[in-house]
Chains A and B, each alone.
Chain A
Amino acid sequence: MSLLRTLPMRRHPRRTAGTLVALVTIVPLAACSTPTASPGVDEETVTIGTHTPLTGPAAAGYSSISAAASAYFDYLNDNGGIHGRSIEYVVKDDAYNPATTQTVVRELVQEDEVLAVVNGLGTPTHSAVLDYLNENGVPDLFVASGSPSWDQPETYPWTFGYNADYITEGKVLAHHAQQTYDDAVYCVLGQDDDFGTDFTVGLTTVLDELASTQTYSVSNQDVTAQIGAMQAAGCTVNFLATVNGFTALALGTAAKMGYRAQWLSSSSGGDYPTLVGYLGEDVGPALLEGFVSTNYLPFSADDPWVELFQKVNDEYNDGAPFTGNTVFGMSVAYTFAEALARAGEDPTRESLVEALESGEVVGNGIVPLQFGKESRRAFGGVGITVVEGGVQDYVGEVYTTDTGDGDVVVYDGEAVALENEGIPEG
């Protein structure tokens, strides 16, 4: 690498095509780091990274996730880390632009030499780096998206999903609706991408037909036309494949139009504190009374996990608003720590994946993680939450199902219990 310094730097800038192109190449070189046994692991630290939108319009909904995860890693590090190593979490902004995602993920892998990419966020963005990470054998853990496409162990052995997939959520919500409401007219409002499409596939697997299927685009924050169509179609039970902001818009718009219906949302847009944030403290609680959503992470106020996360949030995250994103980010961080603890004294990329494939990493959800040799699917089931008296909590059964046309069945196991203050031991 010292070659560049010895190159004659005298140049004659002529306005010609060739030299222009040549000039582009004069970019600073980063120092080459000395090779270690495994990338991202040295005596004291384990370096991992993520891509997430911190700028641009998408940042509003998601930037708090990586902050919460970072806070949990800080908590772990202050309590001795994993196998004596602290975890360094490198967060890269991709502005939700797939081309930028490619650049920052390469930077993580090639410059920062991370052990793994953890919780890369978004379906279109992460799709862009799926091939790259798998070709280079970089563990691609806990993708923050409910697309079923992360579960392809044959094609993408290094990729592990995290969210309960949209099809599962759709099937469980549809099943719950069938059990709960009589003579209902079912409709759906979905985002105009795979989130909406996959969720609707899940719904129609269980329900015979939907009276109205509406879509929205994130670039247009006016959903009056869609809600009007649902009202006109006489929909009484409406499913939502919407992000939090648009769940709030849908409910707010319906209320303004004097349209009352039962709303059932995917976990991606069903977080009560966030929704109240959008709707306002004054009207939010009233609008959200009776609101149904799926979830798969601990959420009850007296749950030991939630109490721990609240403590970590106060101490390490500057007391940021405690929302579903906080629980999500910290759960991901805990799950990575658990995987790292199971990956041996001196973790490598291979041992990390082996630990996950062993099925011993169970996470902290209401159902244990399903990872195994043949499965990259994290959560095979979800629970149902309802807002009652301004409190969102689980009600009734937890259900599991597959992404095909299998039945929705009741899960009779337990949620994963908190152990050792949330600090996994090897």
Chain B
Amino acid sequence: MDRFVFLLGTGLARGTLFALFALSLVLIWRATRIVNFAAGAMAIVGVYVGVAVTGVTGSYWWGLVATVLAGGLVGLVVERGVLRFASPRSPLSGVILAIGLVIVLQSLLGIAFGQQHEPVPAPFSDRPLRVGGVPLLSPYDVFVVVVALGLMAVLRLLFVRTTLGLQLRAAAFAPEVARLLGVRVARMRTVGWVLAAAAASLAALLAVPKELGLNPHAADMLFVYAFTVAVVGGLDSPGGALLAGLTVGVVMSLVTGYLGATLAPVAVLALLVVVLLMRPSGLFAQAEARRA
């Protein structure tokens, strides 16, 4: 039983990171109907900037701020400079441009910084607190959970309570109508990209201390699992992303713990297949879409 609780705790901590990253994919999907395959590579650019700033200032928090800002800037540049060439008639061209971007960014980072992993310190202790003798969440995990939940709350407020949020939603769901009503659709798209890229950079910065360290490929697997999470949760649903993220994290942890690490990706595939066969648009897509 202790072991189960322990694996559950580990899985939840990891799942939060998946959820946070998946949230950025959901944001872009809602804003532009594009799945951002470049999210991982773009986020890592932000993290490189943040780590450099931490190195100069000696403060993790300035680095965090820089990561978020740099991530947003990358989002702006990518949307205005690259993704605007995506053909509006083909949903594929956005995907393919993004894949090109992944390759370009990872090569550039590799040429500029080399391939070795660089350690990224965590701002809080990573030593788990024991609950009833079982090591559960560490202060750092709690920090991640708080940031993730906080970010979701802020975005929810933004989307539901502000004019900007209304415009964002209008531009995403009915661009033509929104344009007729005076919403600057293209600008809303850009705002969506900036928000999403900043969130992804933040998620990557939080994830890196729990992995090998910073290198051009550091967010590759994070992206793959986060994408799975977004699809399981329903690409339209931030709440779905959170729940699916936790589910995928726990499934991976339990499978690794009881069946072996190699089978974890297979288990994630199985989960995805089961969910998609039951609900082809993910667990929460329809309810959310209707509300919007």
Contact = CB atoms under 8 A, between A and B. Distances in A.
Partners in one complex: yes
Interface of B: 2-3, 6-7, 10, 14, 107, 110, 114-119, 121, 126-128, 130, 135, 138, 210-213, 215, 217, 220-221, 252-253, 256-257, 260-262, 264-265
A232 B135 contact: no
Interface string A54-72: 1111011001100000000
A228 B260 contact: no
**6 closest residue pairs by CB, A with B:** A225-B257, A280-B119, A59-B115, A221-B211, A225-B256, A256-B126
A192 interface: yes
Interface residues of A, number: 37
Given A229-B3, A256-B128, A277 B10 contact: no
A59 B52 CA distance: 22
Interface string A223-248: 11110110010000000000001101
Nearest to B7: A225
**B107, B128, B213, B215, most chain A CB atoms within 10 A:** B213
A215 B262 contact: yes
Given A57-B220, A249-B212, A224 B253 contact: yes
Contacts of A19: none
Nearest to B128: A257
Nearest to A258: B127
B265 A219 contact: yes
A226 B7 contact: no
Interface of A: 54-57, 59-60, 63-64, 192, 215-217, 219-226, 228-229, 232, 245-246, 248-249, 252, 255-258, 277-280, 282
B117 A192 contact: no
Contact of B257 (A228, A255, A280): A228
B6 A219 contact: no
A192 B262 CA distance: 7
B19 to A, nearest CB: 15
B217 A256 contact: no
B134 to A, nearest CB: 9
Contacts of A224: 10, 253
A318 B143 CA distance: 40
A63 B110 CA distance: 11
A282 to B, nearest CB: 7
B117 A258 contact: no
Nearest to B207: A221
23 contacts: A59-B115, A60-B212, A215-B261, A215-B262, A219-B265, A220-B265, A222-B252, A222-B253, A223-B261, A225-B7, A228-B7, A228-B10, A232-B3, A245-B117, A246-B212, A249-B211, A256-B126, A257-B128, A257-B135, A258-B128, A277-B117, A279-B119, A280-B119
Given A64-B116, A228-B6, A257-B128, A216 B261 contact: yes
A343 B124 CA distance: 59
A222 B3 contact: no
A257 B134 CA distance: 10
A375 B14 CA distance: 48
Contact of A258 (B135, B211, B217): B135
Contact of A220 (B3, B110, B121, B256): B256
